[in-house]
Structure 1
Amino acid sequence: MRKDISFRYCIVLLFLLLQGFVTIGQDQLDSLSKYSHDELFDRAFETRSTLYLEYLENQKLTQEEKKQLYLWFYYLTAANGKLDITLNYLQKLDSISALTKDPKNRFYAKLGLAEIYYKKSDYEKSKLAFESAEQYIRDFPEGITRILASAEYSYFYYLSGNFDVFNTEMENAIKSLNALKSDKLEEYDRRYLENAKATIAINLACGYIMKEDFDQAAEELKLVDQIYEENFKGDVNTNSVHTILVKGKYHFFKKEFEKAIPFFQEVIKINESQEFQEDAYMSEVFLGIIYYQLGDYNSSLSHLETAIKSPMVVADYVKYEMESYRYAYLASKQLNDTDKSLMYSGLYMEQDEQLNDNERSNFINSFINNLEVGKLQKDLSAKNNTNFLLRYILFGLAVLIAGLGIILFYQFKENKKNKQKIADYLDQLNSDKKKKEDSSSAKKEAIVQENNAIAQTQEMDEKTVRILDKLEEFEEGDLFVDSKMSLAYLASYLGTNTITLSKIINTYKEMNFNDYINGLRIRYIIEKIKNEPKFEQYKISYLAEVSGFSSHSIFSKAFKKSTGVTPSQFLDYLKDEPVGQ
């Protein structure tokens, strides 16, 4: 009834999305004893219910049936966020697969364990499980299942943010699938092949989206739509629902928020009748962020609180739980709900503390480095076991030591250069402070002198002087840390238009509007760090938010552009060489 069923379920496990077709609704169960073992597995497959599996677990099963049981428990419990229960069944699957010398189910068990440990932030165990899975890929027969296993193994490149490698692996997988001759396959196998192509194309679209290569992402989504139109029209399954979610992410990351909303709403609607909790959870978080960006703070908070009440731990590069708290705090702040604002800001800070980026980074770098070492060891073992091996090792060590020496020397020079940049920047800040202590008339004279070349050809009128005065007042406040600050907003605040304001900033501040605002924000947060020691202990993501930046990366780029160094280097400098108040 199910030809080589463990192979058929490879696509279920691909990228930890756990493919499986779903029926609408679930029958009332009066008695399970009337079903055979095969029928009970089929019912669990169709209804996504563990009820049938729990009954089966108490029956006398063969070793193969037990493996199938544990695999299906993994599929159903992981999809509903029951991590400890999932872990238990994966360990059982691993043990029985080792006992029966079943490498393919050991691969599934190891990759499943890597996923669950990653979700539980136990990165060391996740690394070990992931690394131990690679050896079993070669035990899959050549063809679709081996291609899928290799592609699934590459998912951790996505989790690490190494999207270039991830995309390359997915592109190679699709090429390999396209090279298979589908015209010679039976109907079931042909559909299996097409579904495999769609699954990899969806995840390749995710990789392109994260690289902001939206044209390529659109091409992959177009391919998925074509495959489904020709082969699976009307089917509702994990693959099709995830495709809808990815289409929403596509528009979200393009900042086409209005276009993204219907896709996320559709996923939530499907979940109401067919249990796609993880996809619905992610959709709620995305909608919360979108409505915040659109200024609909009540809708934003409503979606975020729905997500917070039913949290799911998702193995993804995006930290959804953290983002739900962050935007719930921002939305409640905009709604002047002090109690919720304090509560969600506290929860966000707790998440920020728990997210040990260094630990996560070490996990990622460690397993990638181990992969490279493993490949090198395979190459070396293929050579004759002679003294050449020892020479290679000694030569490699010599090169490594020399390389480390060069790196340390370069780092020493770079640190010295960075310290000078920071000192110069701080001196400039102090110099600017002294200038601002002059009288109002002296300020105007300074402006005229600094722009003498311009004044010779363009007389500074009263309106310009008035706007420059207002800009001085604006710079002394903190209105610029509002994340919604824009040229239009500031022009309205100053009582002028965007064209005039842009021209004045370009002429008299000698920079464009974005650089002007970012420079004020950087100066603001540096003053905070210098004058309030607690700011030295905050995460960079929090410093970015406090100073009005929408993301960690934009803040870091602006900080380096203004100071010449990264925020981390600046904080390290202050710890080593404290600046006087």
Structure 2
Amino acid sequence: MMKVIFSILLFLSGFIYAQKSIVDTLSEFNYSQLKGKFDDYYDNDKVSESKIIAQYYLQKANKEKNNLQIAEGYILIHFNEDFPTALKYIDSLEIITKNIKGSLYPTRTYLMKGNLYFKNDYLKKALDNYIIALQYAKDQKDQKQIAYANINIAYLNNYLGKYAEAAKIFRYYLYNPNNITNESQHNQIRVSLINCYIELNKLDSANILIKEGQTSAFTGKSKYSVNQYLYFSGYSNLKQKKYTIAINELAKTYNFFSSINDNNANYALYSLGKCYNGLNNKEKAVEYFIRLDSNIQKTNITFPELREVYTYLIDYYKEKNDKEKQLYYIDRFLKVDKKLDEQFQYLSTEMPKKYDTPNLLQEKEEIINDLKNRKIILYASIGFLLLILLLVLYLYYKAKKTAKEHRKIAQELIHSIEKRNFESTTDIKKEIPELSQISEHAETENIITKTAPEEVTQFILKELEIFENKQLFLKSGITLASLAKNIKTNTSYLSETINNHKGKNFTSYLNDLRIDYVLERLVKDKKFRSYKLPAIAEEIGYNNVQAFATAFKKKTGTTPSIYIKEIETQQ
């Protein structure tokens, strides 16, 4: 025990001495050398040492009243601070650089602020700051800052799942650095391109870059980079279903990233859960997904794959018949989904408007300038743009017309249901003659020739009447085989009876019962209407909202969202 205590004291005294030694030697270096040392410590996860250098850097700049270097000091210091403190330093950066001439500021301030927001999952603010930075860079014609803005926006596209668009930017600057990116930035671009390649299933290209990055990381002795590439090696093996190899690599990266409270730990947990699910070890997968959810609650930093995590947990506890945990993860899903939806909706709307469209317009202007003496090509370009405009207008009016038709169908459905006495679900079908008749006519073309004995047929019909009256069709997981087993007959007789007496196949029969039910209940039950579509789908027996929406559209000719909206409008 004394030996352990002595070792700890020796370590602490050595650490204190190291700090003092760093401070004593810093006065020997100029700003460029201090910046190089900061990068070296920061890239190698030596947080305390990098903090000391950043503080000394700012202290030296303040003493010399050098505003440009004071600004650099604020930037260095903010890297190791929590979000609120880091944001204050960036705000100070904006103030101190207000009167600095040249093309570096204010572009750099907005880039730094955008990066800070991105790191802390404020994607809307990140995009807004990147767009402002890009505009300043373009105004100043600073190609280096334009490149940084484009690269940072590519990171957002990567996050959004626009991997092809992001890969195009990353690939260009990876192989055409043009003195724009330093070693650290070059490494991050390579890491992001690897992610794009894996998601695009270009695993050979990804693995080449992984090996290249691992060689570079080992040479530079950066533990962080080593673990980044180890993670992507694990992720690549996951995609190739080499689960055992992937688990070994991902577990190591999780241990490292969790030890430094880095958000990459959450991606490692997600991938580990996927691996164990691939091995059909649901308990182990759930263990990692629960741990991931716990981390997300602490940081509130989300990523799109979380939707898959929560639906997995919901389905798992549904199978276990654990209502409490099922309800808990439904609530977690809804909260995370709401945040993701808000961010994705904003980014998917604003990215084309503020970034893609201006870029396209700029490209168009450059083309026109380059081809001003080539009238034929110029006219062709204008004609092409007009065609695009006409196509957009056509699609717009077509969408409006479709929406109007859907609303009309919904209104007719609501009107017919309100007039009805709600005596049976089969009445709804009669009030939708055109769609139902066409659908049923198509299905009855394949009616099976009657082979079941009459007494068997009558028995099945009575059981189906009970099935309908007791609304047993609302249970999830119903199949032809399971229903046949429940009513003690075989699938052939059951299928034949439904085809001959219901005029449709089993799938249509089940879907029609559920949709007829939901049509009435949505009109009558205000609380039911307030449910999210996934909850409504689950309530009436569907495993996912897509299956429900498809069945609803096929049966009625409109969508659940429009139908609910029309009910709310009329009531």
Q: Sort the TM-score into its range (normalised by shorter chain).
A: 0.5 to 0.7
Structure 2 equivalent of residue 568 of structure 1: 561
Whole-angstrom distance in 1 between the partners of 2:423 and 2:237: 46
Q: Against the structure 1 CA distance between its residues 453 and 92, is the aligned structure 2 distance closer, same or farther, given a 3 Å change threshold?
A: closer
**Aligned pair partner of 1:421 in 387, 404, 409:** 409
Residues 242-291 of structure 1 show CA distances to partners (whole Å, capped at 9, x for unaligned) of: 55555666787899988976665443234355x36312223335656787
Whole-angstrom distance in 2 between the partners of 1:519 and 1:247: 48
The one-letter amino acid of 1:152's match is: N
Residues 475-515 of structure 1 show CA distances to partners (whole Å, capped at 9, x for unaligned) of: 66677666666677667666678899889888987878777
Do residues 154 (structure 1) and 154 (structure 2) align?
yes
Map 1:130-529 to 2 at 5 A: 130-135=130-135, 136=137, 139-141=142-144, 150-160=150-160, 163=162, 166-171=163-168, 173-174=170-171, 177-178=174-175, 195=187, 198-205=190-197, 208=200, 216-228=201-213, 231-232=216-217, 238=224, 241-242=227-228, 264-273=250-259, 275=260, 277-285=262-270, 299=284, 301-311=286-296, 312-314=299-301, 316-318=303-305, 320=306, 331-332=316-317, 334-335=319-320, 340-351=325-336, 355=339, 357=341, 361-371=345-355, 372-373=357-358, 376=361, 413-422=401-410, 433-434=425-426, 454=447, 456=449, 458=451, 522-523=515-516, 525-529=518-522
Q: Against the structure 1 CA distance between its residues 457 and 541, is the aligned structure 2 distance closer, same or farther, given a 3 Å change threshold?
A: closer
Q: Against the structure 1 CA distance between its residues 487 and 255, is the aligned structure 2 distance closer, same or farther, given a 3 Å change threshold?
A: farther
Contact 1:198 1:223 in 2 (8 A): no
Q: Against the structure 1 CA distance between its residues 71 and 565, is the aligned structure 2 distance closer, same or farther, given a 3 Å change threshold?
A: farther
How far has the Cα of 1:34 moved from its partner?
1.2
How far has the Cα of 1:314 moved from its partner?
3.6
How far has the Cα of 1:533 moved from its partner?
0.8
Whole-angstrom distance in 2 between the partners of 1:481 and 1:295: 29
Contact 2:217 2:226 in 1 (8 A): no
**Aligned pair partner of 1:530 in 498, 502, 523:** 523
Matched residue pairs, number? Answer: 502
Task: Report the secondary structure of 2:202's partner residue.
Answer: helix
Structure 2 equivalent of residue 46 of structure 1: 44
Structure 2 equivalent of residue 61 of structure 1: 60
Residues 438-465 of structure 1 show CA distances to partners (whole Å, capped at 9, x for unaligned) of: xxxxxxxxx9xx9697454755687777
Q: Against the structure 1 CA distance between its residues 341 and 355, is the aligned structure 2 distance closer, same or farther, given a 3 Å change threshold?
A: same
Whole-angstrom distance in 1 between the partners of 2:410 and 2:129: 44
Do residues 577 (structure 1) and 570 (structure 2) align?
yes
How far has the Cα of 1:126 moved from its partner?
3.7
Task: Report the secondary structure of 1:60's partner residue.
Answer: helix
The one-letter amino acid of 2:529's match is: E
Residues 52-89 of structure 1 show CA distances to partners (whole Å, capped at 9, x for unaligned) of: 41674266233666555544555555xxxx43234334
Whole-angstrom distance in 2 between the partners of 1:544 and 1:26: 60
Contact 1:505 1:512 in 2 (8 A): yes
Task: Report the secondary structure of 2:16's partner residue.
Answer: coil
How far has the Cα of 1:563 moved from its partner?
3.2
State the Cα RMSD in Å.
Answer: 5.6
Instruction: In structure 2, list runs of 5 or more residues that go unmatched.
Output: 1-10, 27-33, 62-66, 370-385, 430-439
- Higher RCO (C-alpha 8 Å, min separation 6): 1
Map 1:86-165 to 2 at 5 A: 86-96=86-96, 100-101=100-101, 103=103, 109-117=109-117, 125-135=125-135, 136=137, 139-141=142-144, 150-160=150-160, 163=162
Bigger CA radius of gyration: 2
Whole-angstrom distance in 2 between the partners of 1:548 and 1:296: 26
The one-letter amino acid of 1:139's match is: D
Contact 2:447 2:496 in 1 (8 A): no
How far has the Cα of 1:168 moved from its partner?
3.2
Q: Against the structure 1 CA distance between its residues 53 and 174, is the aligned structure 2 distance closer, same or farther, given a 3 Å change threshold?
A: same
Contact 2:448 2:499 in 1 (8 A): no
Q: Against the structure 1 CA distance between its residues 49 and 405, is the aligned structure 2 distance closer, same or farther, given a 3 Å change threshold?
A: closer
Do residues 34 (structure 1) and 3 (structure 2) align?
no
Contact 1:158 1:317 in 2 (8 A): no
Q: Against the structure 1 CA distance between its residues 114 and 508, is the aligned structure 2 distance closer, same or farther, given a 3 Å change threshold?
A: farther
Q: Against the structure 1 CA distance between its residues 577 and 105, is the aligned structure 2 distance closer, same or farther, given a 3 Å change threshold?
A: same
Whole-angstrom distance in 2 between the partners of 1:562 and 1:419: 15
Task: Report the secondary structure of 2:15's partner residue.
Answer: coil
Q: TM-score, normalised to structure 1's length?
A: 0.64
Whole-angstrom distance in 1 between the partners of 2:558 and 2:40: 60
